[in-house]
Chains A and B, each alone.
Chain A
Amino acid sequence: KNEVEQSPQNLTAQEGEFITINCSYSVGISALHWLQQHPGGGIVSLFMLSSGKKKHGRLIATINIQEKHSSLHITASHPRDSAVYICAAFTSGTYKYIFGTGTRLKVLA
């Protein structure tokens, strides 16, 4: 069992739908990162969270430290949001990221 689990693994949505991707972790963390990997392979950092909630455009990320759970929400989804979304736990006291297996999102027009 991975120390960082994501769900769902694959997600297909219609344009305009509200999307939620979940991330649960079993390790102590200093921060949790959400990454986006484009179909071309490039990785972009979306958010870094250590508590609460962050919003950037149509993207919202939340974290519940007690429950060891984070969610990434996409409002008014668009085909250009199609990508793999990866959560990464930065473990306490180390310089180490542990990655989830990723969620492959496809948004249909």
Chain B
Amino acid sequence: DTAVSQTPKYLVTQMGNDKSIKCEQNLGHDTMYWYKQDSKKFLKIMFSYNNKELIINETVPNRFSPKSPDKAHLNLHINSLELGDSAVYFCASSPSGGYTEAFFGQGTRLTVV
């Protein structure tokens, strides 16, 4: 069973489109995250949710809107996609906000053309 699963794994889309990336964890964790890995392979946090509540929004453009319908899901919706949004997006979860190991999804490679 996959602990943290993201879909899709690859996403190619045109500029201006709206797209969503889904993330689900079956570990019973309270905290979920979205990270962006840029072309230089540098990981940076975008959002953190704890018990469905937004905890961190790291100066991410308003075009990015996370949605957490329940503790097990944290989806990322992106409006009006731009070329600079091309990156790998990772979802992760942890039991209590970082005091134990985090589990990562396999990543979604988004390419905006």
**Which of A17-25, A67-75, A92-100 sits within the interface?**
A92-100
Q: Is A59's CB within 8 Å of the partner chain B? A: no
Nearest CB in chain A: distance from B45 CB, A: 6
| Size class of the contact patch on chain B | 20 to 34
Interface string of B75-97 (1 = CB under 8 A from A): 00000000000001010100001
Number of A residues near B (Cβ < 8 Å) is 25
Contact between A95 and B90, CB atoms less than 8 A apart = no
Tell me if B43 and A44 are in contact (CB < 8 A): no
- Give which listed residue, B45, B88, B99, B101, contacts A41 with CB less than 8 A: B88
| Total A-B residue contacts, Cβ distance less than 8 Å | 66
A interface, over-half SS:
strand
Contact status B104-A44, CB under 8 Å:
yes
Task: List residues of chain B with CB under 8 Å of any chain A CB.
Answer: 31, 33, 35, 40-45, 48, 50, 55-56, 58, 88, 90, 92, 97-104, 106-107, 109
- Chain A residues near B (Cβ < 8 Å): 30-31, 33, 35, 37, 41-45, 47-48, 50, 84, 86, 88, 90, 94-99, 101-102
